[in-house]
Structure 1
Amino acid sequence: MIELVKTLTSLNGPCGYEHEVAYFIKDYLEGKADEAVIDSIGNVIARKKGTKPGPTVLVTAHMDEVGFIVKKIEGNGLLRFEKLGGHDDRILLAKPVKVLGENGIVDGVIGTMSAHYVKFDDPSKVRKHSQLYVDIGASSKAEVQELGIEVGTPITWGTEWKMTGPKRKEVIISKALDDRAGCAVLLQLLNELQGEDFAGELIFLFAVQEEVGLRGAQTAAASLEADAAIAVDTTAVSDTPEETMDQSLRLGDGTGIKVMDFSLIVHKTIKNLLVQAAKTNGIPYQLEVFPGIGTDGGAVALSNKGIPTGVLSIPSRYAHSPVEMVSVTDLTATKDLLKAFVLELDQTASFAF
């Protein structure tokens, strides 16, 4: 699964431009799922039937990553940009980016003034993203256009995947762990179900445009009939020393079983089934109450006549930055709990209110 995370995070797919990720996942599903399609807005939807009668369960993760988009090309070759998804303006300065031009990837950096000028500036000032620019080394608008870059060209972080930490407590540092880590969990689940007896049918939904309003999941789930659903996404931990952190969710302490966020109050029956599966199988877990986040689970729960929905959260530090961090232990616990949940279902399974 670690190799899957490495591969998936190396792909570029900011909101609305998930093509590279979607086609990789669709190809990966060949021979593993019973069917796999890309719908009209880019969601990848696959099905895997079990060997016994049982419920239909939708499992979902989103493919998009936060990024940027070219808004204007200045006469001197600098690129003004707009955000795709949520960003903290305080972390933008001097970060490497990749501009996804029509002629190929162009490396760049979000510019900042030299430290030598700080004494002439207000060092406490945080400039808004609308005041910033991407520098790709071009000196004119014509040079930018020759590189295949125009207004509307997407941009993503330019950082690379890394692993660090002590043995058996390794962490992954990368862009796009939100939510390629969740996509890796779903793909690994499918891998491990090959040859396994399980009941019912699984629908795998790899959704687009989660970071700009849960759009892909909302669109797809409206036409998918399921008895229950589990969304897998990352969530922000609160275990670092900043004064706003409350130590309620920690990196390395297990998967998060969602209780509530701003998009969803988790269906109590689903939450209890997940907790029981974790206890039965000795899988480390944490209960998560965090109103500062939302997931595709919120969109799925409201689709059709309402789908009982739970969420498994992969704890993450530095979310929506170029150096997101997740624990391999938590990643594995998330996959193990999702698998245990699926394997323990049978035709008597009830998700009643």
Structure 2
Amino acid sequence: MQKLLEQLTGLHGPCGNEQPVSKWIRDYVTSLADEVRVDALGNVFATKKGAKPGPHVVITAHMDEVGFIAKKIENNGLIRFEKLGGNDDRLLLTQKVQLRTKKGFLTGVIGSISAHYAKFDDAGKVRNHRQLYIDIGARDKAHALELGVEEGTPITWKPNMEYLGNESTGRFVGKGFDDRAGCAVIIKLLEEFDGAEFAGTITAIFTVQEEVGLRGAQVAARQVEADVAIALDTTAVSDTPEETMDASLAIGAGTGIKVLDFSLISHPAVRDALIHIADEKNIAYQKEIFPGIGTDGGAISLANNGIPTGVLSIPSRYAHSPVEVIDLGDLLATKELLKEFIMSLKQGVQFLFIEE
């Protein structure tokens, strides 16, 4: 799982510019599925048929990551940028970024004034990202153009995955865990189902543009007729000492079983089935009620005539930053619960809103 996660987070794929991720996932899962295709928006579909009749289950995770896009090259070679997804202006200063040009990758930094100038500045001011700039070492605009930068060049945090502390912690720090971690779980599941017997059909959907309004999932969901769906995503924990934190979600406490967020009220039958299996199989979990987040599950649930949808959440600290943190135990608990859920499905199973 660690190697898979490192490969995925090392890929460059901000919202709307996920081509390297889409291609990598397509190529990787081709040998693990019966049918693989990429739609016009970039969503990757991998369908695997079970040995026995059963329901059609959709499992989904988004492949895009928050990032930026070059907007203007100043005469001195510094680059103005816009956001792709929900970046916090307070986190931007002096961070390393990676620009993907047609000539190759460039390393840049989001600039800031020297600490020596701080006494002449308003120390409490948070500058809007439109006041900031990226420095790629260019001497002037012509040099930046020569390096390959142009308006529209996609930008992400510089890839940087490693252990937090050391390997004894079982925790990783890096960029793009939201939601390459969910993609890794699905790919690992497909590997474990290679040759395994299960009932029904699995369609894994790796979506684009989640961070800018669940756009990929809205398009993808209309292309499948499913009996049940499980979305995978990271979720922001509340276990650090800031005054706004309520300690309702913690890293290392197991997978999150979604009850509610701003995009979805989880289908009660799906939610209860996940809880029952987790209890029965002794899989660590925590219930998630967090209106400050949304996932592709919200879009999937509204597709066609409505799809009973649940969400499994991978707890994360410092979301949408270059130093996101996740726990390997939570990642494995998410994979195990998803696997056990799929293995529990039999022909004729229904997830009814009203049980007779």
TM-score range relative to shorter protein: over 0.9
Deviation for aligned residue 1:159 = 3.9
CA distance in 2, matches of 1:277, 1:191: 22
Stretch moving more, 191-200 or 160-169: 160-169
1:20-99 matches, cutoff 5 A: 20-99=20-99
| Counterpart code for 1:175 | K
Which residue number corresponds to residue 176 of structure 1?
176
1:141-290 matches, cutoff 5 A: 141-165=141-165, 169-290=169-290
Deviation for aligned residue 1:247 = 0.0
Is contact 2:160-2:175 (8 Å) kept? yes
| Counterpart code for 2:101 | G
**Secondary structure of residue in 1 paired with 2:200:** strand
CA distance in 1, matches of 2:114, 2:168: 41
CA distance in 2, matches of 1:205, 1:156: 23
CA distance in 1, matches of 2:51, 2:165: 41
Task: Determine if the alignment matches structure 1 residue 2 to structure 2 residue 2.
Answer: yes
Is contact 2:257-2:311 (8 Å) kept? yes
CA distance in 2, matches of 1:348, 1:36: 26
CA distance in 2, matches of 1:47, 1:168: 37
Q: Deviations over 1:40-81 (max 9, x none)?
A: 110000100001111000000000000000011100000000
Q: Deviations over 1:114-149 (max 9, x none)?
A: 000001011111001000000001121111111111
CA distance in 1, matches of 2:34, 2:317: 36
Deviation for aligned residue 1:167 = 5.9
| Counterpart code for 1:237 | V
- Over 3 Å counting, the alpha-carbon distance change for 1:113 and 1:286 in structure 2 is same
CA distance in 2, matches of 1:187, 1:278: 21
Deviation for aligned residue 1:263 = 0.1
CA distance in 1, matches of 2:152, 2:219: 23
Is contact 2:68-2:82 (8 Å) kept? yes
Task: Give the length in aligned residue pairs.
Answer: 353
CA distance in 1, matches of 2:124, 2:164: 32
Moved over 2 A (4+): 164-169
Which residue number corresponds to residue 341 of structure 1?
341
CA distance in 2, matches of 1:141, 1:36: 43
Which residue number corresponds to residue 130 of structure 1?
130
Name the TM-score, length of structure 2 as normaliser.
Answer: 0.98
CA distance in 1, matches of 2:344, 2:15: 35
Q: Deviations over 1:184-223 (max 9, x none)?
A: 0000000111121100000000000000000001001012
CA distance in 1, matches of 2:245, 2:199: 41
Is contact 2:10-2:159 (8 Å) kept? no
**Secondary structure of residue in 1 paired with 2:249:** coil
CA distance in 1, matches of 2:215, 2:167: 39
Deviation for aligned residue 1:155 = 0.5
CA distance in 2, matches of 1:287, 1:89: 30
Is contact 2:9-2:159 (8 Å) kept? no
Give me the CA root mean square deviation: 0.9
Stretch moving more, 166-175 or 26-35: 166-175
1:293-304 matches, cutoff 5 A: 293-304=293-304
Is contact 2:45-2:204 (8 Å) kept? yes
CA distance in 2, matches of 1:194, 1:223: 24
1:99-110 matches, cutoff 5 A: 99-110=99-110
Stretch moving more, 192-201 or 54-63: 192-201
Which residue number corresponds to residue 16 of structure 1?
16
CA distance in 2, matches of 1:158, 1:319: 15
Is contact 1:169-1:252 (8 Å) kept? no
CA distance in 1, matches of 2:160, 2:228: 36
Deviation for aligned residue 1:165 = 4.3
Identical pairs, percent? 60
